[in-house]
Structure 1
Amino acid sequence: MFDLPQIAVEVTEHQMLAVTCGCGHTTRAQAPDRVAGPTNLGEGITAVAVYLSTVQLIPIDRVAAAIEALYGIAVSTGWVSSALERAAAAVEPASEAIKEQIAGSGAAFFDESMTKVCGKRAWFHAAATGTLTAYHADEHGRGLGAITAFGILDAFAGVAVHDAYAAYYSDVINQDGITHALCIAHIQRELRAVAEHDLAAGKDGWAAQLQALVGDMFRWRDTWHAAGHEQVPKFKLDKIIAEWDTLLARALDVHPHQPGRLAGQTHARRLALRLRDRKDDYLRWLTDFTIPATNNTAEQSVRMIKTKTKVSGGFRTLAGLQQFLTLRGYLDTLRKNGRHLITDLRHALQGNPWIPAPA
């Protein structure tokens, strides 16, 4: 049987003596660094508050209620907010190191999505590897300004796996060092939607046939990878490319340019053009098995921020969003590295944040 003992809060009293000299001058002892006032809450309870808010995604008022119920300590929502602020500042050195390590990695995943700030839409960006996670949000929203302010792609020289958002291809980012690999899972979802909802595509069948081709790609890749190969055999790759080109040429005939529409293109035509023009980036995972086929690692990082939005309704300020993202990135990195989250949070609040060793 595993159980908890009766929880009792440890209280430490600090006595700062004051001594008055014969001349009348009084000398008072200095309080320890982390003792800021007559009553203080320590790093342990602060770490729990941060964990409940950032990992378990509990709203601030319920964090305060949970702490009182679990530990018998009455805290205000203002104290919880200040605890999050102190913790974000404490892990900032680790957060910067994480971003530098992602920028220096051989492959990284990138994604962007929306949350809410003051009830309005706000964009945030995520970058991740198998062991690292970082986030960024600022007044530039989804745009190129936010991507460059994030500071990862400017210094990146590996394989960038993403969802084909045009800003990732901007010349402002150093394209000479970046190899783009586009998420095939996004295409599977788009093809399914086009096949089901576009009458012309449904009648012709090109989208459904391209879906089937993608499924064939996965089967060949899995089989040959399991057999110890590094890429799909050339005869099969040539056949896949020929069928890819044929289906997209057919799609563009089925969905011609339409004057009067936005840029003269339906969604199905825009998809077909993107698949044609970015073919090498979409099929890169077949020619190098070290390159992932999907952007799932970044999407998983984004998903929990979306869950936070659903649970709490969003954030009050953009600074509060970035504060949450800083903590979330640090804690997700701890999780990926098998660290004990609350222990490492306590150490960070004591001035010693855990920083992952460069790979």
Structure 2
Amino acid sequence: MPTNRKRGGQKNHKLHKSHITADVDDIICKRVVQAPRSAQAVKDEDNHILYYVTHEVDLIMESKIIEIRYYISEDGEVLDDRTMKKYAINPLTYTHHFKASVVYLNQRGTIPFQRLSEMMNDISRGTIQLQPSTISKRCQECHEKSRGTLEGILDDILYGYVVHVDETGARISGDNHWMHVITNEMGAYFICAEDRGDKSDGTITLLDMYTGVVVHDHFKTYQNLLMCKHAECNAHIDRYLKSGIDFERSEDCQQLFDLMHEMLHRKHTLIDEGKTFMETKEIRDYGKRYEDILKEGLEKYNEANPGISKKAEAEYIKTFRRMLEYKEDHLRFMKDFTIPYTNNKAEKMCRVVKVHKNISHQFVTMRGGKAYASITSIFQTANIRKENALEKLEEIFSN
């Protein structure tokens, strides 16, 4: 909803600004009549001002070449297999930090390989000449070396009581494929699969033995998960009901919309009061009102449209049938305060994939799609856990 606030900093908000640091590379001394307004005073032990300082931050991207010289000696060090394989073909390789930085820039900035190659060449003034194919290889290398890390992320996610799942389309070499995501407060795990309901590589197999609560958008394949409980995303329901209100002028849609948000508001009120559950009687009363609105709405519609085929029914009527059939899943947010009203956590993760699609349009190979899913899992998990994604990539490359 619009806040009607002006753009920029808001009144009474704390000002956030960069701070002076003691670690500087160059110092320039100037004798002036008056120092700049925001310059910081440096004082001696007697609190006398010695001088004022300002800082200017510069960024320099340049290559640093480390030469290793090998002198042959009978009593010299025996190099390990890893070092020998590292230089088996080419005497020039890249450090873990360099590889991680390349993958970081490609993924974090959603920068295509060719454009990133040109950018690094320009910024380094020609000292870094990295081919797009090399960037692609670094992404594949990260994918191959991250298997253990990804297994750990998935285990942490599935240890949680609630997981969010969603999927979005992805084109690979002109064909339709899917990016699935499983996420909660412990991380995000992306999977690139051929089909939306892929039972071999998709989320269905990974969640087969999960016993918590799966929050989803009514993709019926998820209903095949029998060990867990299900919770429907009511943000979708809100949109369907608003459509019925705006285009069909349905009073039943308005009543149901108001009731859903009354329940949500009541839940938040109880949480603010320190409560962890809603009384059984109150839940029962809300459930009865919910059913009454749906049944009366369906009955009135059938009386006004006798003999109408299901294909010709108004969309909100299909929503009513769905909400009646899956009542427990739609109202689980009210009965269990740990269950959210929406599936926004998973949908937010899918937006990352959609941004990539808008820029790069498609993946060339399935291998590239899977590499993207692996790297995105690492990035989004680092974001969720407030960790440094670049450091995580360096750890993976150093394995």
Q: Same fold by TM (over 0.5)?
A: yes
Aligned to 1:187: 237
Greater gyration radius: 2
The answer (yes or no) to whether the contact 1:115–1:121 under 8 Å persists in 2 is yes
SS of residue paired to 1:306? helix
Q: Does residue 122 in structure 1 map to residue 122 in structure 2?
A: no
Aligned to 2:49: none
Which whole-Å CA distance do the structure 2 matches of 1:10 and 1:274 have between them? 62
CA deviation map 1:293-313 (0-9, x unaligned) = 211111111111111101111
Q: How many residues are treated as equivalent by the alignment?
A: 335
Q: Does residue 341 in structure 1 map to residue 395 in structure 2?
A: no
Which whole-Å CA distance do the structure 2 matches of 1:2 and 1:336 have between them? 32
RMSD over equivalenced CA pairs, Å: 2.6
Aligned to 1:14: 68
The answer (yes or no) to whether the contact 2:191–2:202 under 8 Å persists in 1 is no
Aligned to 1:228: 274
Deviation at 1:101, TM superposition (A): 2.5
The answer (yes or no) to whether the contact 1:16–1:29 under 8 Å persists in 2 is no
Letter matched to residue 160 of structure 1: V
Calculate percent identity across the aligned residue pairs. Answer: 21
> Unaligned regions of 5+ residues in structure 2, if any?
1-54
CA deviation map 1:23-44 (0-9, x unaligned) = xxxx999855544512222222
SS of residue paired to 2:214? strand
Deviation at 1:15, TM superposition (A): 2.9
TM-score of the superposed pair, with normalisation by structure 1: 0.85
Deviation at 1:235, TM superposition (A): 4.3
The answer (yes or no) to whether the contact 1:116–1:315 under 8 Å persists in 2 is yes
Point out which structure has higher relative CO (alpha carbons under 8 A, 6+ apart).
1
Written as runs of structure 1 = structure 2, the 5 A alignment for 1:257-336 is 261-262=310-311, 265-336=313-384
TM-score of the superposed pair, with normalisation by structure 2: 0.77
Aligned to 1:136: 191
SS of residue paired to 1:14? coil
> Unaligned regions of 5+ residues in structure 1, if any?
21-26, 352-359
Deviation at 1:318, TM superposition (A): 2.1
Deviation at 1:130, TM superposition (A): 0.8
Written as runs of structure 1 = structure 2, the 5 A alignment for 1:1-359 is 1=55, 3-4=57-58, 6-17=60-71, 31=83, 34-35=86-87, 37-71=90-124, 72-139=127-194, 141-145=195-199, 151-170=205-224, 173=225, 175=226, 177-197=227-247, 199=248, 202=249, 204-256=250-302, 261-262=310-311, 265-351=313-399
More helix by share: 1
Which whole-Å CA distance do the structure 1 matches of 2:79 and 2:370 have between them? 40
Letter matched to residue 82 of structure 1: K
The answer (yes or no) to whether the contact 1:18–1:29 under 8 Å persists in 2 is no
Letter matched to residue 210 of structure 1: L
